[in-house]
Amino acid sequence: MLMRSMAFIVVALLCGTVCTAAELTEAAAMELGYKIAAVNEALQNPGAPGALQAITNLGHDQRYYVMVRGWLMYQLQGDMSILQASQGQRQPDISARVDFIQRAIRAIDLE
């Protein structure tokens, strides 16, 4: 639920800060929405094929790079907090997502 609401917030911020109503056609808005949904899905299931590619597809676009990187950093900070709070209890799904997000950040930064 939190990830879904975060995706809607990202869409609203992207549309509000990057595009005016005249610049963002309905088709472009749908395409952007699909890309954001793909990033959201990649964060929920980092082991899925094409997960890293979904993030780099949107993150390499200079119009959206800052927002994607901010989203990744926000998720990374939350996951790191969960790992620290678990006090040594193994959290393999969270650890895998932390590794994935770190790789994704490096991938979009190096483009």
**Residues of the domain holding 58:** 2-109
Total tally of structural domains belonging to the chain: 1
Judge whether residue 11 has pLDDT over 70.
Answer: no
Q: How far is CA 37 from CA 51, 59, 85, in A?
A: 11, 13, 29
What would the mean pLDDT of 90-111 be, rounded to a whole number? Answer: 90
| pLDDT tens-digit readout, 56-73 | 999 999 999 999 999 999
pTM: 0.75
Those residues with Cβ within 8 angstroms of residue 19's Cβ, 6 or more apart along the chain or in another chain = 28
Where does the pLDDT of residue 75 fall: very low under 50, low under 70, confident under 90, or very high at 90 and above? very high
| pLDDT tens-digit readout, 13-56 | 555 555 555 566 888 889 999 999 999 999 999 999 999 999 99
